[in-house]
Homo-oligomer: A and B are copies of this chain.
Amino acid sequence: MTTSRDFSFTQIGVIRTPFDSKFAVPRQPSLAPSTRGVIVLDEGYSDPNYVLGLERCSHIWLSFVFHLVGASSKPTVRPPRLGGNERVGVFATRSTHRPNPLGLSVVRLDRVEHKARTELHVSGVDLVNGTPILDIKPYAPYVDSVNHAEYALADNQPDRLQVTWSQAASNSFESIKPSLVLIDKVAVEQILAQDPRPSYHSDDSRVYGVSLEGVEFKFRVTNNEVIIQTVETPC
């Protein structure tokens, strides 16, 4: 006889990323390698000993909570990459809608800083700002890199769109650039190149907006080209 078993875990820290909402978060971590994040460990885990030797890793695994999504009771999802029409079991996808909203991402570790709290500066992030982190493990290539693995549902990088800036958007971005720490021009282009529009929407005339590190980018998508129209900061 099997009885249901629950397990409780405590957040060890929170990640700061430019993704102010789920919209525009890359579907996988390696797709926007220039996007930076900072994991700020909670007080109870900021003893420098917790990360002793971590600088000997180039990449780390983050186990985290899809805290904006919560637990899902649906057995299947419709992955955007399959056109949104085909149903696939949740355990056959990396969807955020899962019985246990546990996320898993490999990110590059750029540096460790010991301030009041321990900070891990990383890049190539695909987590929403404020995501609770449960665990950090070194990426061990000799076990984690399975070159011969096959995943027929998503066996290569998704297509990317061309990204161009209007003169106004480019000028605005240049003026606010010095105040940004998590994104630069390349990161913005990598993020928008993935076509962050909701599935089933392909209205060429519609203007979409995405907030990255508190900056609002307004864009249109025409003929597989993303045109950034305006870049605005809150007053």
A-to-B contact residues, CB < 8 Å = 2, 4-12, 14, 28-31, 42-45, 47, 49-54, 56-61, 63, 65, 75-76, 87-94, 98-100, 102, 104, 106, 132, 134-157
Contact = CB atoms under 8 A, between A and B. Distances in A.
B6 A9 contact: yes
A91 B54 contact: yes
Q: Interface SS of chain A: helix, strand, loop or mixed?
A: mixed
Max count, chain B CB within 10 A of own CB: residue among A31, A92, A106: A92
What 6 A-B pairs are tightest by C-beta distance, nearest first? A52-B89, A56-B152, A49-B75, A54-B92, A53-B92, A91-B136
8 contacts: A2-B42, A6-B11, A7-B11, A45-B75, A53-B153, A56-B151, A60-B91, A91-B137
A93 B49 CA distance: 12
Nearest to A59: B149
A28 B153 contact: no
This protein's copies in its complex:
2
Given A4-B11, A99-B135, A142-B154, 14 more contacts: A7-B132, A30-B143, A49-B75, A52-B89, A56-B152, A59-B151, A61-B104, A91-B135, A94-B140, A102-B135, A106-B143, A142-B155, A144-B146, A145-B147
Contacts of A153: 53, 56-57, 138
Contact of A106 (B7, B136, B144, B156): B144
A112 B126 CA distance: 30
A8 B157 CA distance: 33
A98 to B, nearest CB: 6
A156 B150 CA distance: 23
